[in-house]
Amino acid sequence: MLQNALPAVGLLVLMVLLAWALQRWKKHLPGVAHHSGPALKVLNSVSLGPQQRLVTVQVGQGADALCLVLGVTPGAINSLHSLPLPAEADTGTPDPMPGAGGFAARLAQLTAPKTATPAQGPHAPL
């Protein structure tokens, strides 16, 4: 039994040592250097069906940021549209209460007493 187990254990130890050595010296080997590509951030994802999704992805950061709209299926990922990300778009952490001031202002505008002028009439837009 030891005759069969000893070569198997030796081969297992050799494979672990080889994996450790490759991991340790990865940066010194040509063509295997760690490459960190452009920064990717998923902005939004919408399910279109059981296996289809529409995904909006931000590629890059700063002035050269690009927004990609991707169609994702089990067999493929297709780029549907690409556009530069607006500079004023805040892609950081979302506001815990988005538009709270806007809602309060709109509610106050709708509940305030109105005086109808003959030129505008009762069905005039706000």
The pLDDT tens digits of the residues spanning 71-122 come to 999 999 999 998 887 666 555 555 555 555 677 777 777 788 766 555 555 5
Please indicate, yes or no, if residue 105 is contained in any of the structural domains. no
Residues 44 and 27 in one domain: no
Average pLDDT over residues 18-22: 90
- Determine the pLDDT at residue 30: 65
Domain extent, residue 73, equals 36-86
| DSSP 8-state assignment for residue 13 | H
Q: What is the pLDDT of residues 23-44, one digit of tens each?
A: 887 766 666 555 566 678 898 8
As for how many domains the chain has, the answer is 2
Tokens linked to 8: 């198997």
22 and 42 share a domain? no
Listing from the earlier edge strand, what are the strands of the sheet with 66-72? Answer: 40-47, 53-59, 66-72, 77-84
Does residue 111 belong to any structural domain of this protein?
A: no
For residue 45, tell me if it sits in a domain: yes
Per-residue pLDDT band for 18 (boundaries 50, 70, 90) equals very high
Provide the β-strand partners of residue 59: 40, 66
Question: Residue 43: inside a domain, yes or no?
Answer: yes
Does residue 57 come out as left (phi exceeding 0), alpha (psi in the -120 to 50 range) or beta?
beta
Q: What is the DSSP string of 43-77?
A: EEEEE-SSS-EEEEEEES-GGG-EEEEEEE-SS-E
> Are residues 81 and 41 located together in one domain of the fold?
yes
